[in-house]
Amino acid sequence: MSVLFAPSSDLSDLVTSLYGRRANDLYLGEPVTVYDHALQSATIAELDGAPSSLITAALLHDVGQLIRGAAEDAVRFADDEDHARVGGDFLASYFLPEVAGAVRLHVQAKRFLSATEAGYPATLTPAARMALVLCGGAMSTDETARFRARPHADAAIRLRRYCDRAKQRNLTVPGFRHFAHHVDASARRD
């Protein structure tokens, strides 16, 4: 397993441990592993020219699932607000608000896109459509207005699109070490 941060970092040990336990689990009924999904999300963000904070958010957007539980429980809270909140809260201790904010809202972004883009739900995989239902379905008009007003909503929408595309079987992507400079650039300095 590649090291995400500097070898002496406590955070590196924690994230490596979290991914190490779940790295080879299939990602929520998709044809990729948890590890591959994270790397594909970050690669897609990098290829899109996203800033380092969004690439880091893409790499770590599902850390709340890793913190919360075992693979067999993953579908139950795959796209619930709680895994996004847990992950965002965890990341807020170590990263810029742009990282934690996008992660906190990436589940809501799926609901937002479902409400505002005709045909968006049809682009989702069957497992992702099931997760959409589990997290409450498309937002109401009031919910979409509140979502748009939130800081980091635009970043969360971009993150959601990266996540949606990051489910390709046998896609060759770089390892965690490749993203270290983005992670470092996104770290809190206070």
- CA distances 183 to 42, 135, 186, Å, are 11, 29, 5
Q: d(Cα 51, Cα 4) in Å, to the nearest integer? A: 18
Q: Tell me the range of 63-67, 109-113, 134-138, 184-188 where mean pLDDT is highest.
A: 109-113
State pLDDT tens for residues 133-168.
888 899 999 999 999 999 999 999 999 999 999 998
Nearby residues of 163 by Cβ (< 8 Å), 6 or more positions away = 37, 41, 58, 61, 106
Task: Please name every residue paired with 33 in a beta bridge, in sequence order, or none if there are none.
Answer: 26
Percent of the chain with pLDDT over 90: 48
Average pLDDT, the chain: 84
Average the pLDDT over 170-189 and give the result: 88
State pLDDT tens for residues 59-76.
999 888 887 764 444 444
Inform me whether the pLDDT recorded for 169 exceeds 80.
yes
